[in-house]
A and B are shown apart, each in its own frame.
Chain A
């Protein structure tokens, strides 16, 4: 019996005695309970996780959790205080604040998630390939990144918003432009982070091994190196989600986001300013909602960082 055949027999024997692959539901439950076990190591992460589950639950369940149309006006019930009928009262046009909060949050969180995913999709290939190829590609790529990073604060978004206004975009188109700007602004950070991680990973032996068996360099970069740099990216993306929420809210607060009557925390807050002295609660709710959301992402992100990078958790 040749050596090859012997190997095959061993493989078969192992396969026969291996336990059966568990069903996918069992596997999912195991993964989730593992994740929860890991999360429990950090109190901040578990508080953040619970807050996020509530947030996403409210976003998904919005149509079932609300009874009023968020843009329906009721002139007989303007500026009503919180009551059984209107849980958080009504605004200056008699619209139900509770419904507006939920629908507005649903929109805001969707925009933020799509924008961050877009930024990751732009930045990861950019950074991984720049880091992996090195040389001219790296130099040129990183200068572009530096140029994009030079736009301070809201300015990059302001340029995009101005363009959207000049083209008289409406509705979803404004959101798409906003998502493009937010993603583009997140791209340099992702590109830098993935480039740095790739430079560190490139030195390791498994990359050498893949190259030795003849893998192409793009393949190595994306299939072998990428999975190893995922954890810092997850942390950055989570913290960024909180920041993106703040940016979108600030833009619509300035009146540069989606125009009314679309429910929006930023523009509702801005509109509530005129009634602030007599009805401070109307300005309080959207602000609290923004705080809650940003806090949830920040707590979860901080906790994740501690879990994934135990050296920092010591602090």
Chain B
């Protein structure tokens, strides 16, 4: 296991390098130079400022040297300053991470709470009304765009019924119960969509397990059906479900740009979206890189957990 873990970590290095090259190339591909953008906002002695900034940003050096310098600084979490707020990008991004993690955790937990019982019941009562309902719900969840679902929720619960605020955020550390009312709608929008995938997966892996021979043996020995399902099949069927939920969680950490924008949720996705509107290129670059690395590392953790949960998998 240790050798496997080390090898997987070693495999991470080229992947992260590809990521850094991609986001570096993105800024290189922008028209004009960053110096013009900076000077445009400050004024003063243009020529002198240009010379100083060109030197400071290393623009008089060849591309590969600049990439190396940028990489060294990036590895030290020094992403430079935001063009808009002038504050260090690393603190900007760090302050946004808690909100994103909060939303993603609640959304994923919600989806598992909905999906696992529904998927299990659908598999156990195959071709029953419950099964068809579960299939229709999961197909709907996959096909309905989450931003439309979010809008409809806002329309119903905020505008017509007036039960919940339509957008905003309160930190759970400041006011836990107050933060919940802001959390419900975005978390429900995430939970519904993720539950659609997870229900399908739980159903099909439960069906897979139920068709195995040990189930026949257990039943032949006279074990009650409840024990067969909860003690044996469900435990095995949970392995792929947990794995996929982990991967979805990793994706949610970087993929909630749309929902965070709709609900004015101050997460990292919204930070990147705002940076795009304000043309704050260094922030976009750093944000995408940070999210990419988070996703890669999360994927690795999920993979390792999967091996721990399921020792039968050969350590290939």
Cα distance, A152 to B291, chains bound together (Å) = 7
Verify A150–B19 contact, CB threshold 8 A.
yes
User: Smallest CB-CB separation from A251: which chain B residue?
Assistant: B258
B286 within 8 Å of A (CB atoms): no
Binding-face segment, A10-18, A91-99, A129-137, A156-164: A156-164
Q: Is the CB of B14 within 8 A of A269?
A: no
CA distance A167 to B31 in the complex (A): 6
Once the chains bind, are B159 and A152 in contact (CB under 8 Å)? no
Contacts of A159 in B (CB 8 A): 22-23, 26, 284, 288
Q: B148 touches which one: A161, A162, A269, A298 (CB < 8 A)?
A: A269
Q: What is the total number of residues of chain A having a CB less than 8 Å from a CB of chain B?
A: 40
Interface pair B18/A291, CB less than 8 Å apart: no
Within 120-172 of A, Cβ neighbours of B (below 8 Å) are at 143-144, 146-148, 150-155, 158-159, 161-163, 165-167
Complex contact B272–A163 (CB within 8 A): no
B251 contact set on A, CB distance < 8 A: 152-153
Q: Select which of A148, A153, A250, A298 is within 8 A of B18 by beta carbon.
A: A148
Complex: how many Å from CA A249 to CA B258?
Answer: 11
Query: Is chain A's interface secondary structure helix, strand, loop, or mixed overall?
Result: helix
Q: How far is the CA of A249 from the CA of B155 in the complex (A)?
A: 20
Q: Is the CB of B254 closer than 8 A to any CB of chain A?
A: yes
Residues of B with C-beta under 8 A to A166 = 30-31, 279, 281
In the assembled complex, the Cα of A230 lies from the Cα of B19 at a distance in Å of 30
* Residue among A162, A246, A249 with the highest chain B CB neighbour number at 10 A: A162
Distance of B66 from chain A, by nearest CB (Å): 19
Q: Which of A146, A150, A250, A277 contacts B145 (CB 8 A)?
A: A250
Stretch from B38-46, B70-78, B89-97, B136-144 that touches the partner: B136-144
Chain A-chain B contacts (Cβ-Cβ < 8 Å), number = 137
Cβ B291 vs Cβ A144 within 8 A: no
Q: How many chain B residues touch A (Cβ–Cβ < 8 Å)?
A: 53
Bound CA span A295–B258, Å: 20
Q: Which residues of A contact B183 (CB under 8 A)?
A: none
Residue of chain B at shortest CB distance from A269? B148
Contact A153 B254 (CB under 8 A): yes
B120 close to chain A: CB less than 8 A:
no
Within 8 A of A (CB), among B237-256: 250-251, 253-256
Residue pairs across A and B with Cβ atoms less than 8 A apart, 11 shown, are A150-B15, A151-B22, A154-B255, A159-B22, A161-B276, A242-B143, A250-B258, A277-B155, A287-B151, A295-B139, A295-B143
**Which 8 residue pairs are nearest across A and B when measured between Cβ atoms?**
A153-B255, A147-B18, A152-B254, A287-B148, A295-B143, A143-B14, A294-B143, A152-B295
Chain B interfacial positions (CB closer than 8 Å to A): 11, 14-19, 22-23, 26, 29-31, 139-140, 142-148, 151-152, 154-155, 159, 204, 207-208, 250-251, 253-258, 261, 269, 272-273, 276, 279, 281, 284, 288, 291-293, 295-296, 299
Give me the interface of A with B, judged by CB distance under 8 Å.
Answer: 143-144, 146-148, 150-155, 158-159, 161-163, 165-167, 242, 246, 249-250, 253-254, 256, 269, 273, 276-277, 280, 283, 287, 290-291, 294-295, 298-299, 315
